[in-house]
Amino acid sequence: MPSAFTGIDIAARALRTFEAALNVTGNNIANVNTRGYSRQRLEIGQTPPELRWTLSGLTSFGTGTFVNGVLRIRDLFLDGRYLEVSSEAFRSQTMRNVLQTVEQILGEPGANAVSGALDAMFDSWNNLAANPADDGARFDLRMKAATLVSRIRDVHERLVTQDAMLRSQVTDTIGQINTLGRRIQELNEEIRRQTAAGADPNDLLDQRQVALDDLSKLVNLRTQPMQDGTLQVFIHNHTLVGQVEFFPLPANYDAATSTVTDGVRVTTISGGQLAGLFGSLNAVASYRAQLDSFVNEMRTQINSLHQTGINLNGTTGIDFFAGTSGAADLDLSDEVKADPRNIAAGASGAP
């Protein structure tokens, strides 16, 4: 038969187990607003029974309960889906923010945009055609053309500034990715050590998940859990965090192809803020190219026509616009800036 103290022992073990359960519950409540905290649950197990001989034979007597471990309540499938969705969401959000800025830079359509200044210049040309002897019409045309030049140059410079800002953000983002990768690798090492010792590294697992969540906002990634509790992290074909090592993401990039390279392997970036920045750089480059194409065509066509005319000073072959390389060097020609009478309004030179 069990001893007289067996019941006391069972009650004592039960009290210690229930105390641990209360501590776990209290910890859950205390961390209700802690970012990344996963709810925990106490696993209660039955202690090994005690076998004793009785009059009826060998009998098994229960000995109470014990703490079997503290489980971290987490849905790994949902965690994986969150990493995928978060990566795509931040790619789209980054591009949206940049394109909204570009939209403000262009300001189209509007009276204060390039199109408004272009319309005003062509109206002045029409007014000069109707009043070819009017010096005031030439002054007005020169002023409206100068306004067009100023707006085009302003848009160009702001797009160049935006490009430089985006490139700086790309460098910073790659640095943040590598910082988080190194942090995950450090947490892996501590998780491996505690797991090997038989502990439940729940808090470390939460910290690693927070780092993964932050990383998914910056770049596309996939993970591979290992038997020792560690987690490998991959960005396309690049291993960012191996089982025991950390491999930095290369800083050499090509925004046009949305890739980074170490000179040997090319890694495609398809998600997160980094992909959004690459897409934004391509969009800004496209708008700059379109602006340059428009300026070159406008300058060529107007200069070709203006060179055939004769101005009030009796000269011909004069350009109306100066410059050769898109919007960057667009300006009025020196002759037009020096004297509005150098603006040709006809083929004869007559007022």
- Using the Cα atoms of residue 211, residue 213, residue 215 and residue 220 in order, give the sign of their dihedral: positive
pLDDT confidence band for 76 (50 / 70 / 90)? confident
* Least reliable range by pLDDT among 200-204, 301-305, 337-341, 347-351: 347-351
Residue 90 has pLDDT above 80, yes or no: yes
Instruction: Using alpha carbons, list the distances in angstroms from residue 124 to 118, 134, 139, 141, 332.
Output: 10, 12, 10, 5, 15
pLDDT in tens, 108-161: 888 889 999 999 999 999 999 998 888 899 999 999 999 999 999 999 999 999
Q: Are 211 and 150 in contact (CB under 8 A)?
A: no
pLDDT of res. 297: 96
* Distances in whole angstroms, Cα of residue 158 to Cα of each of 94, 145, 164, 289: 18, 20, 10, 14
Kindly report the backbone phi and psi dihedral angles of residue 2, in degrees, each rounded to the nearest multiple of 5, phi listed first.
-60, 155
- Percentage of residues in the chain with pLDDT exceeding 70? 97
- Is residue 241 within 8 A of residue 177, CB to CB? The reply is no
Residue 6 has pLDDT above 80, yes or no: no
Distance CA(122)–CA(127), nearest Å, equals 9
Crossing angle of helices 272-307 and 135-196, in 10° steps, is 160
User: What mean pLDDT is predicted for residues 301-321?
Assistant: 94
With cut-offs at 50, 70 and 90, classify the pLDDT of residue 334.
Answer: very high
Phi, psi angle pair for 311, to nearest 5° = -90, 180
Residue with tokens 């000995």: 63
How confident is the model over 155-191, as pLDDT tens digits?
A: 999 999 999 999 999 999 999 999 999 999 999 999 9
